[in-house]
């Protein structure tokens, strides 16, 4: 089984070296269709542009290769590495995300049911210590420990779009050309 905590310990310094903050490390899929998804952001823009994703991807690949050359098996078998910006309707994975995005609509999936429900949807009120508050549309104000949250993400709304700087797509043409060159036969 893949140890996401160990992978994060290897990936986080690579992101930090480039001035980025790690948002999420997640392994999904089965067999050779598995994907190691790494989301990071530039604290100044809350996004990564294509060039930044490419730089981080190279650093992560080198760090994982180095660890495996030294005997660690981080991910058994084949997988695809996907490095991206968290996007507008981003996942909320860190305590600071719940503070910074207070006032925006969110969906929260819980580890255990609260008031007979495992899924909450409403305006995020913030976090105090380790307690997250949400104004759920069905149950009203609910406060729960951060550890009780299985997954959370922002909901794409006009208010969120207005509060988010547009993504910069400069460099995407160069990235697509690089991919085409890599796929071309020798």
> What are the residue ranges spanned by the domains of the chain?
4-87, 95-163
Q: For residue 65, what pLDDT band results from cuts at 50, 70 and 90?
A: very high
Residue with tokens 């210590």: 129
pLDDT at 32 over 70: yes
Q: For residue 33, what pLDDT band results from cuts at 50, 70 and 90?
A: confident
Q: What is the pLDDT of residue 75?
A: 87
35-41 and 80-84: which strand pairing?
A: parallel
Model pTM score: 0.80
Tally the C-alpha atoms within 13 A of residue 183's C-alpha that lie toward its C-beta: 6
Distance, CA of 8 to CA of 5 (rounded, Å): 5
Strand order across the beta sheet in which 117-128 lies: 140-145, 131-136, 117-128, 105-114, 149-154
Span 155-173, pLDDT tens digits: 999 999 888 765 555 555 6
Residue 31 vs residues 6, 38, 82, 108, 125: alpha-carbon distances, Å: 20, 19, 16, 29, 40
Mean pLDDT of the chain: 89
Q: Which of residues 82 and 183 earns the better pLDDT score? A: 82
Q: What is the pLDDT of residue 1?
A: 63
For residue 178, the 8-state DSSP code is H
Instruction: Tell me which CATH code domain 4-87 carries.
Output: 3.30.300.70
Mean predicted confidence (pLDDT) in 37-49: 93
Structural fold of domain 95-163: SH3 type barrels. (2.30.30)
- Does an H or E element contain 28, and which? strand 21-28
Q: What is the pLDDT of residue 114?
A: 86
Q: Indicate if 95-163 has the same CATH topology as 4-87.
A: no
Q: What is the pLDDT of residue 129?
A: 95
- Does an H or E element contain 150, and which? strand 149-154
Q: What is the pLDDT of residue 116?
A: 87
What b/e readout covers 35-67, taking b as 16+ CB neighbours within 10 angstroms? ebebbbbbeeebbbbbebbbbbbebbeebbeeb
């Amino acid at each position: 089984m893949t140890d996401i905590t160990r992978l994060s310990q290897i990936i986080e310094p690579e992101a930090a070296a480039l001035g980025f903050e790690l948002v999420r490390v997640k392994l999904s899929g089965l067999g050779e269709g598995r994907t190691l998804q790494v989301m990071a952001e530039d604290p100044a823009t809350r996004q990564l542009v294509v060039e930044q994703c490419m730089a981080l991807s190279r650093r992560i690949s080198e760090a994982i290769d180095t660890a495996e050359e030294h005997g660690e098996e981080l991910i058994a078998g084949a997988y695809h590495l996907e490095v991206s910006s968290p996007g507008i309707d981003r996942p909320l994975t860190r305590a600071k995300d719940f503070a910074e995005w207070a006032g925006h609509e969110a969906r929260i999936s819980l580890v255990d049911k609260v008031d007979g429900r495992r899924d909450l949807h409403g305006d995020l009120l913030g976090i105090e210590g380790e307690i997250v508050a949400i104004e759920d549309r069905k149950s009203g104000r609910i406060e729960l420990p951060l550890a009780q949250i299985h997954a959370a993400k922002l909901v794409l709304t006009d208010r969120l779009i207005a509060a988010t700087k547009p993504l910069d797509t400069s460099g995407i043409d160069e990235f697509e050309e690089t991919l085409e060159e890599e796929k071309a036969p020798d």
